[in-house]
Chain A
């Protein structure tokens, strides 16, 4: 059955938002969401890496692992591919786009351990997506991550002005905000495709 690519984007970015309903990439979602500007940089870097890695892992899976009956090795192979890819992207940006590289800074290497990247790659295999669908799903997922992290950062910037109960200061209030955002995003699953 042919699934329209636009529907995949909407489904992955909003209905099944990677952070707020799939719980992938929580570490960076909580760790790097203190300021809108930095979270937007991280989101862009993730967007870049996930789109690229879903393309590369799809090629590796269909052309190397599947013909050789080595699909059980996908976890090991994917994580190595992603680590290598992040390294290459970093070197490439450093040389060709130093400005962008500088603004992404340390977030680039940290993306290797962002479980959203590996999660998308594994999910594409589970869903038996073709090449175009894999790349679109990767892009949509990363777009969802970007939206979620920027929204959370915008909320967190306002915590300074608000009177948070002592016990809820720090991590708990961030979780409460994330919970409220997740409730809002549940609304999207009312729209079934």
Chain B
């Protein structure tokens, strides 16, 4: 029991951090992190949906027919997102205003569907909830850190409190769109630099094991697999041996 908790939390926060390692859920990560408070709020909202949807999906995993599982997951996730949306609207209206359209967009956050498919559909209820908590905390931490950096450089405050002297003008580009991309680039680059040998910088991509050049189905053969435009055909071709 304790082992599962520890292992799942470590996995979600560090080993497979959804934002910094898996590069999932980029939209909210970049869009709402204009301040640490917004980042934290978005993280908590996503974590709530993640935990409950993981719980329900793993509880129902034996009853959901395999070929309609994705639509079923989407409906489950969308229901909880609507719930979270109504709750934030009722109790934390400022946050609801600040996050705006990105709350309903939690539905299409790849992290949630990804965990449902990769973990909750194969594991027990307890482990799935723990996975949701771990991933949720990892997501929240990443968003809060990025929000913190952007807010500090952009307006010179931390969680809405001014920490720099009044005369600091704020580099407003960091709370605008380009700042999001730039801070994300720097954060990932720092992580890459820390463990350059483990090749952490590979994108979330699946190659076809170098079989591209010899693949008969691929129209546009590419030198390296990652850039092959016919990856999907290629995989089919390998399986079907055409």
Interface residues of A (CB under 8 A from B): 20-27, 30-31, 34-35, 37-38, 72-76, 79-80, 83, 105-106, 113-115, 118-119, 122-123, 126, 165-176, 178-180, 182-183, 185-186
Tier of interface size on chain B: 35 or more
Main secondary structure of the interface of B (DSSP, over half): helix
Task: Say whether, besides A23-B30, A31-B204, A171-B203, A182 and B104 are in contact (CB < 8 Å).
Answer: no
A24 and B32 alpha carbons, distance in the complex (Å):
11
Task: Say whether, besides A23-B177, A167-B192, A172-B188, A115 and B86 are in contact (CB < 8 Å).
Answer: no
User: Looking across the interface, which residue of chain A has its beta carbon closest to that of B187?
Assistant: A172
Stretch at the interface among B75-83, B128-136, B158-166: B75-83
Stretch at the interface among B56-64, B107-115, B208-216: B107-115
A49 to chain B, nearest CB (A): 13
**Which residues of chain B are near A20, meaning CB under 8 Å?**
177
**Which residues of chain A are near B82, meaning CB under 8 Å?**
72-73, 75-76
* Number of residue pairs A-B, CB distance < 8 angstroms: 145
A93 to chain B, nearest CB (A): 16
Whether a CB of chain A sits under 8 angstroms from the CB of B230 is yes
A174 and B109 alpha carbons, distance in the complex (Å):
21
A185 and B181 alpha carbons, distance in the complex (Å):
13
11 contacts between A and B (CB under 8 A): A21-B176, A30-B26, A74-B104, A115-B105, A118-B108, A119-B105, A122-B105, A168-B192, A176-B182, A183-B178, A186-B173
Contact B27–A23 (Cβ < 8 Å): yes
A119 and B28 alpha carbons, distance in the complex (Å):
12
Partner of A34 from the list B173, B192, B227, B232 (CB cut-off 8 Å) is B227
Whether a CB of chain A sits under 8 angstroms from the CB of B145 is no
Contact B74–A179 (Cβ < 8 Å): no
